[in-house]
Amino acid sequence: MISVSGLSFSYTKKPFITNMSFNVSKGEIFGFLGPSGAGKSTVQKILTGMLTSFTGNVSVLNTDIKHIEKSFYEKIGVDFEFSSLFEKMTARENLRFFSSLYSSPSADIEGLLKKVDLHKDADKKVSAFSKGMKSRLNFIKALVHDPDLIFLDEPTSGLDPSNAAVMKQLIIEQKNLGKTIILTTHNMYDASELCGRVAFIVDGSIKALDSPWNLMHKNTNFNVVYSWLENGEKKERTVPVTQTSSDEKLQSLIKQNALISIHSCEPNLNDVFAEITGRVLV
């Protein structure tokens, strides 16, 4: 779906995006995880043909991005980081307007509104919408022409946990329909819950690229902490994960079903990000 090699780009004379290479296959959710200012939105703008003064090779949907035609935009959907809706128009009017810009038959607008639970508010002006409602509308706006490839820039940013969960479910639904999704985020939960593969991006370059699981489990040097009761008192012990079979106390507690807790303390994606890049995700 996407093939990038030796991509470099800068807004100024100072190099920024440097020698980036990656491929994205059909049906993947591919993530860019990095702190604010890392270059995530810039890469998305290059992949969607909005910034063309780069060097290197960028091919999207088998087309050199420097030579795309209008029809390219019929096949991609973009949910920008900042809402791009007409506030004085209703939700339904926004969707009808944006879908009228495409020549391909539009997706089922009423179905999309229902899917994101906005059908009852579809005739309200967007200016009266909450942040969560705007995000959901902005998301389905990117789907009005039923694109194969979807770009989502910080789709859960600023959403409360329940709206973020709804958004994540919607993204998974699109993946299950066979769509390919490029997602940028600074949120490790989004990346680990949604992405098949994730690129760590800092200062315009990719520092690591793998599945969240592989990234989190490359380092097997972490501990297991378990606890049990002894004469009514809680006891706790820590053992390296690589030595659990030789830990007699742990083995005997398992045989007696006497553990009261057991936790493996493998690093989360934030920890791994900090270890690899020396930066924190904010």
In the window 233-262, what residues touch ligand ADP (CB under 6 A)? none
At closest approach, how far in Å is the CB of 79 from ligand ADP? Answer: 14
Q: How far is the CB of 11 from ligand ADP (least distance, A)?
A: 3
Chosen residue from 1, 29, 31, 39 binding ligand ADP by CB under 6 A: 39
Closest distance of CB 38 from ligand ADP, Å = 4
Our finding on whether 205 is near ligand ADP (CB under 6 A) is: no
Backbone CA torsion sign across 156, 206, 20, 30: negative
Q: Which is nearer to ligand ADP, 32 or 228 (CB)?
A: 32
Give yes or no for residue 147 binding ligand ADP (CB under 6 A). Answer: no
Q: How far is the CB of 242 from ligand ADP (least distance, A)?
A: 37
HEC string for the chain: CEEEEEEEECCCCCCCEEEEEEEECCCCEEEEECCCCCCHHHHHHHHCCCCCCCEEEEEECCEEHHHCCCCHHHHEEEECCCCCCCCCCEHHHHHHHHHHCCCCCCCCHHHHHHHCCCHHHCCCEHHHCCHHHHHHHHHHHCCCCCCCEEEEECCCCCCCHHHHHHHHHHHHHHHHCCCEEEEEECCHHHHHHHCCEEEEEECCEEEEEECHHHHHHCCCCCEEEEEEEECCEEEEEEEEHHHHHHCHHHHHHHHCCCCCEEEECCCCHHHHHHHHHCCCCC
Q: Which is nearer to ligand ADP, 13 or 120 (CB)?
A: 13
With respect to Mg ion, which residue has the nearer C-beta, 16 or 102? Answer: 16
Q: How far apart are alpha carbons 139 and 137 in whole angstroms?
A: 5
Question: Torsion angle of alpha carbons 108, 112, 118, 120, nearest 10°?
Answer: 30
| Apex 47 CA angle, 61 and 29, nearest 5 | 70
Task: Please say which residue, 105 or 278, places its beta carbon nearer to ligand ADP.
Answer: 278
Partner that binds at residue 158, options Mg ion, ligand ADP, none, CB closer than 5 to 8 Å by kind: none
Q: Work out whether 41 is an interface residue with ligand ADP (CB under 6 A).
A: yes
Q: Point out which residues bind Mg ion (CB under 5 A).
A: 40-41
Among 20, 24, 29, 34, binds ligand ADP (CB under 6 A): 34
Which of 6, 15, 37, 158 is in the footprint of ligand ADP by CB under 6 A?
Answer: 37
Give the range of 1-9, 32-40, 53-61, 109-117 binding ligand ADP by CB under 6 A.
32-40
Residue 136 interacts with which of Mg ion, ligand ADP, none, CB < 5 to 8 Å by class: none
Q: Does 99 bind ligand ADP (CB under 6 A)?
A: no
Residue 38 contact among ligand ADP, Mg ion, none, beta carbon within 5 to 8 Å by kind: ligand ADP
From candidates 9, 42, 134, 142, binder to ligand ADP by CB under 6 A = 42
Which residues are near ligand ADP by CB under 6 A? 11, 34, 36-42
